[in-house]
Homo-oligomer: A and B are copies of this chain.
Amino acid sequence: MSKDNLPGLTLCNNAALRRAARKLGKFYDDMVEPSGLKATQQGLLYQIHIGDEPAMGAIAASLIMDLSALGHTLKPLIRDGYVETFADPEDRRVKRVRLTPQGLAKLEAAMKLWQIAQQRFEDVVGRDKAEKLRAALDDIAALDFDLPPATP
């Protein structure tokens, strides 16, 4: 393939996904910013909130993220007093996570901003299209690439 007439980067599913993620991430970040949280943090607090004092492993699995990455991401939230952890009495290897009252208040503030962002996004792309997009993204998240074509 000569250097001319090369396909634009848009051809790579992964590159397209990252690019869109940067764009949308910045949008949600900007919208949620007045709360003092990043969109990722708001999402993480929410995930903790909807769980029943979830274990770190459970959160990581839900978010499809590395356990250690979750640990890192949690640190500023713990430092700022929004989240606290405690060992599961049944299995002391397990560390459970919960919001502090300040964390809950912060989340509620952030969620109000998030809703505006979410609404604006859906206004711009269309509710239906947004829903289809999320479904497609969830499909990707659920994919199993192990044995590509043949699954006997």
Residues of A near any B CB (own CB < 8 A) = 3, 6, 8-25, 27-28, 39-40, 43, 46-47, 49-50, 62-65, 114, 117-118, 120-125, 129-130, 132-134, 136-141, 143-145, 148-149
A134 touches B50 (CB 8 A): no
Closest to A18 in B: B21
Residues of B within 8 A of A118 (CB): 11-13
Given A23-B64, A63-B19, verify A13-B140 contact (CB < 8 Å): no
**Which 4 residue pairs are nearest across A and B when measured between Cβ atoms?**
A20-B137, A14-B28, A16-B137, A20-B140
B3 touches A13 (CB 8 A): no
Supply 19 A–B pairs (Cβ within 8 Å), ascending by A. Answer: A6-B50, A8-B50, A9-B62, A9-B63, A11-B134, A12-B28, A14-B27, A15-B39, A17-B24, A18-B43, A19-B63, A19-B65, A19-B141, A20-B138, A20-B141, A22-B65, A23-B64, A124-B145, A125-B143
How distant is A8 from chain B, measured CB to nearest CB, in Å?
Answer: 7
A21, A114, A132 interface centre (most CB from chain B within 10 Å):
A21
Given A64-B22, A136-B129, A137-B20, verify A13-B47 contact (CB < 8 Å): no
B49 touches A3 (CB 8 A): yes
Closest to A114 in B: B12
